Amino acid sequence: MSQAGNSNKITRDYLDSLLIETRYMNSDNPDTGFTLYGEAFSSPIMTAALSHLEQLGEGGMARGIALGAKKAGCVMWYGAAEEEEIEMLAGTGVHLIEIIKPYADRDLIYKKIEHAQKLGLLAVGIDIDHPFAEDGGPDIVDDEEMKALTTEELTQIVKSTELPLITKGVLSLYDADQSLKAGVRGMVVSHHNNRIEYALPPLYLLPEIAKMAGDDVPVFADCMIQTGMDAFKAIALGAKGVCIGRPLMAAYTRDREDGVFTYLTKARDELAKAMAFTGCTDLSRMDPAVIHRSPF
């Protein structure tokens, strides 16, 4: 595949093409405090739904990222895990959102959601963008076949749990509309790390999807979010929060959980700087008008 069609590169280039105007008059020190599903956090910058990080055990990457996120006061997302791994992560005390694959065996989806509810997780989600393999046939994950969800099936899944149900992998107004019709309580705008070439950058569609969702259904941004400035751009354009993935894996490799904590804290401070320089004094006062597409 050529670099021209790499969706991660397209997304990175789009993010970097977004410029900000400054607004100093009547600005103030910003508050990055973030509330999600009734819980308060230090910032809207969260871990991405990573999976298959390491084997269970003391010092594992998944556990280290959980501990770093907890120390930073951030939400952790996680996916494609056995029950024991989810229990281990929940046991760290981090506020956890589990993302579940669209298993063709729908009973497995319900079983995982029931398990998440028993653990008291913050929310659960469904990877709606993971039903197909590269040849367009059914994908296979951990020996389980995947299958695309129908709106009716998603509606029943939403109704099956008291936990907020999120759809991850929304990259069209169509999927956003079907998700909302099913009653979801959150959506992640994402192309799932270049699962399809030439995908639209999530922030390109984000404003329209956020407008469609309204104030009651938070929309999150994923893919190539790496810094607090990236987070600022996404949140100004309508995201409730953002997810950082691979940079946290590198941060863990460098300095274990302290590296994750340091990275998330630095990103929060970068977000605060961008807010201060644009007059966005808290997350309820973010203004999309400060974002401009580069004419150069």
Biggest alpha carbon–alpha carbon distance for the chain:
58
Helix (H, G, I), strand (E, B) or coil at 125: strand
State the Cα–Cα distance between residues 124 and 268, nearest whole angstrom.
24
Exposure letters 206-229 (e unless 16+ CB within 10 A, then b): bbebbebbeeebbbbbbbbbbbbb
Q: Catalytic: 115?
A: no
State the Cα–Cα distance between residues 196 and 198, nearest whole angstrom.
7
The residue from 95, 130, 191, 192 that is catalytic is 192
Closest by CA to 191, choosing from 128, 139, 97, 123, is 128
Phi, psi of 99 (to 5 degrees): -105, 125
State the Cα–Cα distance between residues 213 and 233, nearest whole angstrom.
19
Q: Six-digit token pair at 275?
A: 């807010």
**Active-site residues: which are they?**
192
